[in-house]
Structure 1
Amino acid sequence: MSETTDRRPARPRRDRRPIIPLVFLLVLAVLALGVWWNVFRDAAATDREAAAACSSAAQAPPSLDPSTVELRVLNATSTAGLAQTVATTMQSRGFVVTEFANDPTGREVTGVGELRFGPRGAEAARYTELFLPGATEYQDTRATAVVDLVVGPDFTELATPEDVAAALTPAASASAAC
């Protein structure tokens, strides 16, 4: 006797689903994406650091020859002879001091001092500021490149040549990197 069933015969499994290889490929793709993400992030950070170094090099004080900087040393304190002492020191460091006197302008100077200059003397004033750290800047309308170094009430001493050289060293290395 033969029996008939309503069941179909089992089909051979030819179309197996490759789940394990697909998961493996997906994990590899995620890892590759992570690696490239880090590469691009590091490259962007390097570019930002280089841009920051170049902008700080542009803002760094210029390294000038002191003999090209013409100064007037003015005393805005009640200490007699301070302008002459500072002028002598600046001359010994190679600056051209054309005059030393009491401050004739009557401007109130606070802190260690003030550097007064015109548009042509801006670079020389930034260089001179290395010798009088903490001095404020005052740009006026003078047509010459002469810088007025005005000694203020909190002045104690000028920066040492070693301090000035140390301040110029990072600027030189930063500008060389650009």
Structure 2
Amino acid sequence: MGGQYKITGDKYPRMRPARRRGRLAFAGVACATVLGVLGWGTLQLIDVFTGGDEASAAGTAAGCRVTPARASASPAAVAVPKPAQITVNVLNATTRKGLAQQTADELKKRGFRIGDVTNAPAQFDKKVGGSGVLLGPAAALKGALPVLGTQLPAAERRTDAARKGATVDLIIGNGFKGLAKPADADAALAGLATPRPTPAAEKKGC
């Protein structure tokens, strides 16, 4: 340019359009970055919430068949002894007098056969803090003890391998407040004879 308009020095004016183009380019890159991050995050969330569906789809694609879990057939009734077949010794390990006889009378009303009714031996006397202890031979663990346990559910169950015969002991402890209600005991006894069906495991076939 000539005349009175001369450019001097080492700095040159920049045209405004170039600056606008730079800003627009920067804004475009920023927007693309933000959209990329949002898209990646969305894909991660989809993977998390549809993981099971994808696994199922993969199994189907591979020719595998997934069968939902179903309840198995009702199990056969279990042979448990009846109260009339069980002889119970009622032993009082507390300081409350007459408690063994009262408990024995109630068990007799519920069909149990009663053996000895007396104080507990020194091994248990005043040493049972809970509601009681059910003690019997090893063979009673799956027979007489569970049946007697329906009458006193909170009682501890123990076995003595050296013990002979089939008689079991109900040793009354300091926490004893009475036998279970007859209706509850009858329901528990019925549950022993007919266990609940267990759900079958999920099956996969290929």
Q: What TM-score, normalized by structure 1, do the two folds share?
A: 0.65
Q: Is 1:88 equivalent to 2:105 in the alignment?
A: yes
* 2:155 partner amino acid: A
Give secondary structure in 1 for the equivalent of 2:147. helix
1:35–1:177 Cα change, 3 Å: closer
Q: Separation in 2 of the partners of 1:132 and 1:98?
A: 18
| Residues 1-178 of structure 1: pairs in structure 2 closer than 5 A | 33=57, 36=60, 40-42=66-68, 45-46=69-70, 50=72, 63-107=80-124, 108-122=127-141, 123-140=143-160, 141-171=162-192, 172=194, 174=196
Task: Give ranges in structure 1 of 5+ residues lacking alignment.
Answer: 1-29
* Contact 2:147–2:189, Cα closer than 8 Å, also in 1: no
Aligned pairs, how many? 140
Task: Give ranges in structure 2 of 5+ residues lacking alignment.
Answer: 1-53, 201-206
Q: Separation in 1 of the partners of 2:196 and 2:57?
A: 34
Q: What TM-score, normalized by structure 2, do the two folds share?
A: 0.57
* 1:115 partner amino acid: L
Cα RMSD (Å): 3.6
- Give 1 or 2 for the bigger CA radius of gyration: 2
More helix by share: 1
* Contact 2:133–2:155, Cα closer than 8 Å, also in 1: yes
